Amino acid sequence: MKAIVRFFLIVWQLPQALLGYAVYWFCRVFLSERVLSEGVVLSDSFDYAYSYVLFIRSRYSGRYAAFSLGVFMFVFYDDTYPDKKLMQSVVNDVVKHEFGHSVQSVWLGWLYLIVIGIVSLAVTGVSSNMAKRLYTEKWANSIVKDKNIDIHV
């Protein structure tokens, strides 16, 4: 039964799933020397939502960035940052936030890229501070607030 549900969820999220799959393979092929690890993100609170996460070394010291496309999550961070605990804490928070976007993808289906993706990309391109106040980001945070998110690497 789970296999049937997952199949329909992939069809429901097809545009972002195809784009995420393409970006995933692009990273595996062309950024392979920067790929640090990959894993799966799960939550007991969301039986139907999961993400494959790819951790990639950032080119910028002390910086991080992330984005989600359906069941694919891409996290760029500086693994050479001197304060390992701080960077790991930041990465965990980022993964949790991006998992909120994965849940949005499940809920919105084909509308996700229009309602969330394009808006987030456009505003983040202008100002990352503005993006933090955007409804898409606040909604993603509220979805995973007080939820247990497990990262299996």
- Which of 57, 79, 61, 70 has the alpha carbon at shortest distance from 112? 70
Which of helix, strand or coil describes residue 60?
coil
Query: What pLDDT is stored for residue 104 in this prediction?
Result: 95
pTM for the structure as a whole: 0.89
Q: Which residue has tokens 């092929």?
A: 29
Side chain identity, residue 124:
T
Give the Cα separation of 144 and 125 in Å (integer): 24
Query: What pLDDT is stored for residue 62 in this prediction?
Result: 67
Give the Cα separation of 24 and 53 in Å (integer): 9
Pair 58, 64: CB distance under 8 Å: yes
**Residue 118 gets which letter from DSSP?**
I
**One digit per residue, pLDDT tens: the chain, 153 residues?**
778 888 898 899 999 999 999 999 999 999 888 898 888 998 888 877 788 898 988 877 667 889 999 999 999 988 887 777 887 888 889 999 999 999 999 999 999 999 999 998 888 777 667 777 899 999 999 999 988 888 888
Pair 91, 64: CB distance under 8 Å: yes
Q: At what angle do helices 2-12 and 14-30 cross, to 10 degrees?
A: 90
